[in-house]
A = this chain, B = another copy of it.
Amino acid sequence: MKRFLDNKDNVGEEMWQLMAELYPICRSITGAGVRDTLKKIGEIIPLKIAEVPTGTKVFDWIIPREWNIKDAYIKNSRGETILDFNDSNLHVLNYSVPVNKIVSLEELRPHLYTIPEHPDWIPYHTSYYDEKWGFCLSHKQFVALEDDDYAVFIDSSLKDGHLNFGECIIRGETQEEILISCHICHPSLCNDNLSGLVLSTFLAKHLKQIPLRFTYRFLFIPATIGSITWLSLNESNISLIQHGLVAVNLGDSGKFTYKKSRKGNTEIDQAVMNVLKNSVVDSQIIDFFPYGYDERQYCSPGFDLPVGCLMRTPHGRYPEYHTSADNLEFVKPQYLAESFSIYSSVLYVLENNGTYVSCNQKCEPQLGKRGVYQQIAGHSDSQTRQLAMFWVLNLSDGDHTLLDISNRSGLDFSLIKDTADMLVKCDLLTEPVK
């Protein structure tokens, strides 16, 4: 399957490098970590950074106070540091309230989170809307804790501030939009969410360099509250969105998974399924369900947008999910590059889909006298190209898009598109109505 963006030799490596730069930042749904992240992205692509004040009502929600953190540790009675925020920003319960006191082991335990099945990994936990303090640590660290008095210290703050998100718009020929949405609220976690973030960044970077039919809107937002905020602020323009994808979990070695939009049979659904069928050995298609990522909000009944989620392994289906093992080693440049390529193919389909009309509705045209056969004679797949020609001519009756023709014929979309272009040149097909 042809890709919209031609081979970008190092795109996998470049994506991974950007991920490595963003990895150490302690992100959350609000705060300096989000701003630092957006700033770095803004150095690569044009990014408008929005600020929405604490207390703003967004549909049923209220923008929360801003969370920031400087330091955190646990020390034992001998003053030895048992756990240090500087080692891993996962060590602190995300959105933890500040704390600074001496507690017994017994008092401490309810504030500690571990994964017994993976004793070396630190889990990732959050408490956005419930005021708590807590630490996450490896189960090995946890079982080594002696009966002692511990100094627990979290130098965090929860104050009125802002929720931030970034928006990158790449203008195309029409106002109609393709939405690519990724979340940016997780701290040092690579597959969920940095992979989606770097993929979106590099898609935007490369799309900016070529002529486009659609306008692209890339959203870099904190999960849930971010998409709700964006939808709330942009309600009047939402009808411009023609197709959309939520980008996440794109750097692991698993096969591709497409979670359909709520409607289930929109053009984006068909385009992704067509690309996966023709491009990769194995993939899975799953129906929409109201859990997962921001497709939950885009596909809430009041919007019901044609937005699916194209990923590799879904959330919760790999053991490293939401743990310190979702790190820079877990995510590989080659898988990121393949994900870039699949997204690129999907955009190729959307950009090029259209309804052509054959100039000869009654009986086949005589192809021989137009030199059409000579054009395909040299190719090793000349028989397939010939068949593609007959399919395009037969189904270009005004009721079938190129994607329909690709699906019905079982032939690759890009072959169908190239064939249509050749037939237009030969005056056998009229220009597409896109």
CB of A362 closer than 8 Å to a CB of B = yes
Tell me whether B297 and A364 are in contact (CB under 8 A). yes
Bound Cα distance from A130 to B367, whole angstroms: 12
Q: With A129-B368, A289-B409 as given contacts, are A362 and B300 in contact (CB-CB < 8 Å)?
A: yes
Residue in B60, B262, B360 whose beta carbon sits within 8 Å of that of A59 in the complex = B360
Tell me whether A290 and B129 are in contact (CB under 8 A). no
Tell me whether B396 and A301 are in contact (CB under 8 A). yes
Chain B residues whose CB sits within 8 angstroms of the CB of A299 once the complex forms: 394
Tell me whether A363 and B262 are in contact (CB under 8 A). no
Residue in B58, B303, B391 whose beta carbon sits within 8 Å of that of A290 in the complex = B391
**Residue among A262, A358, A394, A395 having the largest count of chain B Cβ atoms under 10 Å:** A394
Tell me whether A302 and B394 are in contact (CB under 8 A). no
Bound Cα distance from A62 to B368, whole angstroms: 12
Tell me whether B361 and A300 are in contact (CB under 8 A). yes
CB of A184 closer than 8 Å to a CB of B = no
Residue in B228, B290, B394 whose beta carbon sits within 8 Å of that of A301 in the complex = B394
Tell me whether A290 and B360 are in contact (CB under 8 A). no
Bound Cα distance from A129 to B394, whole angstroms: 22
Chain B residues whose CB sits within 8 angstroms of the CB of A60 once the complex forms: 360, 363-366
**Residue among A228, A291, A396 having the largest count of chain B Cβ atoms under 10 Å:** A291
Bound Cα distance from A361 to B301, whole angstroms: 5
Tell me whether B301 and A397 are in contact (CB under 8 A). yes
Tell me whether B130 and A368 are in contact (CB under 8 A). yes
The 8 closest A-B pairs by CB, nearest first: A302-B361, A302-B362, A301-B397, A290-B394, A290-B390, A129-B368, A60-B365, A228-B363
Q: List 12 A-B contacts (CB under 8 A).
A: A60-B366, A129-B369, A130-B368, A228-B364, A232-B363, A262-B394, A289-B409, A300-B360, A300-B363, A300-B394, A301-B394, A301-B396
